Structure 1
Amino acid sequence: MLTKLSCVAVLFCFVWINGFTQSTSVRPANQVKATQLKPFGRYIFNASQELELISSAAQVGFRFEGRECKLYVTTPSGHNYLQYELDGVYQKRIRIDSQGKEPIVITASSSGKHTIWLYKATEAHTGPVIIRQVEADNIQPVERPAAPLIEFIGNSITCGAAADPSEVPCGTGQYHDQHNAYKAYGPRLARMLGVNYMLSSVSGIGVYRNWNSDGPAMPQVYEKTDFQANNPQQWDFKTYSPNIVSIALGTNDFSKGDGKKARLPFDSTQFIGEYIKFISLVKTKYPNVQIALLSSAMLTGKTREMLQNCLLSIKASIDRQYPQDKPVALFFFEPMQARGCTGHPNVEDHAILAKQLLPFFEKLIR
């Protein structure tokens, strides 16, 4: 009798434990660790298994249920910025402080199922936004849907730098306080086209020289994960395969700098030579990719004409060197009187630039 009772008891315990295990395994998740997220753009998972969003508009998404979610984020840069979409609608920028002890709470206007996409508002040189984990009811990471991809290479304009003084007025705060990568021309254009995008951009950078220095210019930092010349960490270009690489460089090569540091006149021969070599470098990363070269809306008169002539020469040279590839596409912006901080386009100006580019890229993306 004892043996039978023991068997029954063991069987009951097994069924109860098994049922308990199954019931707990299907409970809604309330936490997603950084390593479970599926970021898009330039990023790394660091030694602490945290997600570092590095490049402008680097992004990550998740779904949850209820009315709020909690972000455990920090930055080594004093302060930094995220911005976000809720259910496909842009909301606002969020300031991230280096302490990062308390979670940032994002609240929806109603309960139910919601999708959030977070975007890094600032550029790589501002430092990373570090995500440790995200919490919410029934939270699940989401991937960026499959779609054609455009990589936008450029300078501060491509970053969306100095474009948004709505919270910190021009001339106050720090340089990155007016960054708004989400509303820069590249991301705007990509959303209009329904394609994916990534930004490979650095403020003040040029092809053979920068705004106020002789380098390192874009060809020297492009292969670095964070576009810092002294960083040994190389970006893995096998991560993405862009359909189009858009390059908008030249504004800073033409710059006269701050007027204090000695600055030689613009050297068109050096500019053309370095630009050709840079395009060849890009082609080693993405064979047969469509290259699109954009002029600068910030240049006028003779400098505008000179840049356009340089781009025509570069196109002719690349097309000769790579006869089997798609011909280089050129787009010349109309001159713009920029209304942002320090002579940069503001968010409304970026909308104008994106609208100008739309027919050009519609033909390329087909």
Structure 2
Amino acid sequence: MTKRIAALALAPVMAAALTGFALRQPPAPEARPLPPVIQPLAGAPQIALLPPSAVTALPRLAPQVTGLATATPEGLQHDWPGLHLRARFTGTALRLLFDDAANRFRLSLDGRPVAILTRTGNQVVDLTGLPPGPHDIALEKLSESPGPALFGGVFLPPGSTALPPPAPAARLFDFIGDSDSVGYANTATNRACTPDTVFLATDSSAAFGPRTAAQFGADYRLIARSGLGLVRNYDGADPGRTMTMLYPPPPETPPQIIVIALGSNDFSTPLRDGEPWPDAAALRADFTRALVAFTRQRHAEAPHAQILLLVFTEYGADILAAHQAAQAELASTGLATTLVPLPKLGRHACDWHPTLDDHALIAQTLIDAITALPAP
């Protein structure tokens, strides 16, 4: 789901008629100023910015990468949320190359966050003064990309040497959804926000998907984008760019758990004139057909994965009925799914999105549902 802010306009004559009454003013938008490119945290090593030429002659360190990204000679091209990577090395220095004017990352060293990196541009982040010995480096993408960006890689300055990357987690969970799955502005404390606040308040690593995966010692992928629906985007926008059409090719590593959390944007706003569905019943039937086909496609890509259908029931009876009908049709052909209806959420973050407390509630609901699944 995306923005659902209602605006109230009062005509001058109404304003005059209300003279003498105290009108409640709308809350001022939460406005967070953009931080510097490097925001060191407690215990951070020395961190500086260098030009891209600072890594030209250096060996590249091979990380363990999770998330949707395309490996190119220049690095990892990415535009879906939730990209994260880990690498190991020994030495006192490390360099990371970015070509990314859009995103925000958390950099951790030996299990402790040491810096937030915001819209680095085409620069090298240079870490020096680390204690001698082996180190574990982690980089997590926190933001939602407005378009493709590039992470150029991890490089070893003189005196630092590569260690084998960490082993991947034994289990992998995929979360397919919209802005709620992204973690849109989930750290905000106000529903009214500036665009910069939405950007700075989004932390995909704290969304319900990563929280759920962490409970099972699993890794995660987020295949999610704000505003997307399965057959109908929020308020009928961009009809040629739904999740059905934009879903990426399947990664090489299949997941063990797939959570499909779509439908909020399909059903949250009334149909507009000119849309292809004559009424809500037609939209519900079309969504059901699409969800059945979409789920079968995910099953074909990962035949051993267990699939959960997460339903944001606060969007009315149609979204739940469509999911129930899809589950029944899938079951009739031998494909079992688990329906996970959610209770009403507080949604006090930007533009009526879930807060961190809401994400914790969703995660716990999924944790309970996954725990109750039969052994695969």
Give 1:261 shift: 8.2
Bigger Rg, which one? 1
> Which of 46, 66, 71 does residue 40 from structure 1 map onto?
66
In 1, the alpha carbon distance for the partners of 2:204 and 2:288 equals: 28
1:93 corresponding residue in structure 2:
116
Deviation at 1:33, TM superposition (A): 1.8
Q: Which has the higher helix share?
A: 1
Q: Is the 8 A contact 2:82 2:142 kept in 1?
A: yes
Note if contact 1:219-1:278 (Cα within 8 Å) is conserved in structure 2.
yes
Q: Is the 8 A contact 1:93 1:121 kept in 2?
A: no
* 2:253 counterpart (240, 248, 255): 240
Residue 360 of structure 1 aligns with which residue? 369
Q: 1:316 to 1:83 in 2, by over 3 A?
A: same
Residue 9 of structure 1: aligned partner: none
Letter matched to residue 244 of structure 1: I
Amino acid paired to 2:64: K
Residue 310 (structure 1) aligned with residue 322 (structure 2): yes
Partner of residue 53, structure 2: none
**In the alignment, which residue of structure 1 is the partner of 2:46?**
none
Match of 1:220 among 216, 239, 245: 245
Report the 3-state secondary structure (helix = DSSP H, G, I; strand = E; otherwise coil) of the residue aligned with 1:42: coil
The alignment status of 1:116 with 2:137, answered yes or no, reads: yes
The correspondence for 2:75, drawn from 24, 47, 50, is 50
2:354 — aligned with what?
Answer: 345
Tell me if structure 1 keeps the 8 A contact 2:169–2:217.
Answer: no
Give, in angstroms, the shift of residue 174 of structure 1. Answer: 7.2
Unpaired segments ≥5 residues, structure 2: 1-56
When the two structures are aligned, how many residues end up with a matched partner? 309
The CA distance in 2 between the partners of 1:80 and 1:238, in whole Å, is: 22
Q: Distance in 1 between matches of 2:251 and 2:83?
A: 17
Q: Tell whether 2:180 aligns with 1:157.
A: yes
Q: Do the aligned partners of residues 53 and 217 (structure 1) sit closer, same or farther apart at CA in structure 2, a change above 3 Å counting? A: closer
* TM-score (normalised: structure 1): 0.75
The correspondence for 1:197, drawn from 220, 226, 233, is: 220
Q: Which has the higher contact order (CA 8 A, sep 6+)?
A: 2
Q: 1:365 to 1:43 in 2, by over 3 A?
A: farther
Counterparts of 1:200-349 in structure 2, within 5 Å, are: 200-212=223-235, 213=237, 214-222=239-247, 224=248, 235=249, 237=250, 239-256=252-269, 265-266=279-280, 267-296=283-312, 299-300=313-314, 303-321=315-333, 323=334, 325=335, 327-349=336-358
Q: 1:243, 1:108 → 2: CA distance? A: 40
Asked whether the equivalents of residues 81 and 141 of structure 2 are also in contact (C-alpha less than 8 Å), the reply is: yes
Change (3 A) 1:252 1:268: same
- 1:272-316 per-residue CA deviation (whole Å, 9 max, x = no partner) reads 1111111122122222431110011xx52xx43332222111111
Query: Partner amino acid for 1:72?
Result: L
The alpha carbon displacement at 1:215 in A equals 3.7
- TM-score (structure 2 length as normaliser): 0.73
Q: For residues 242 and 92 of structure 2, what CA distance do their matches in structure 1 show?
A: 46
Q: Would the aligned equivalents of 1:44 and 1:52 in 2 still touch at CA under 8 Å?
A: yes
- In the TM superposition, what whole-angstrom CA distance separates every residue of 1:72-125 from its partner, at most 9, and x where no partner exists? 1122xx331112343334555321332x23x22457885543212212223354
User: Cα offset for 1:254?
Assistant: 1.1
Over the aligned positions, Cα root-mean-square deviation in angstroms equals 2.9
Gaps of 5+ in 1: 1-29, 225-234
Contact 1:31/1:133, CA 8 A, preserved across alignment? no
> Structure 2 CA distance, aligned partners of 1:91 and 1:334?
36
Task: Please list the CA deviations of residues 145-176 of structure 1 after superposition, one character each: whole Å capped at 9, or x if unmatched.
Answer: 2412111111111111222349xx93142754
Given residue 122 of structure 1, which amino acid in structure 2 is its aligned partner? S
The alpha-carbon distance between structure 1 residues 348 and 108, as it changes in their structure 2 partners (threshold 3 A), is: farther
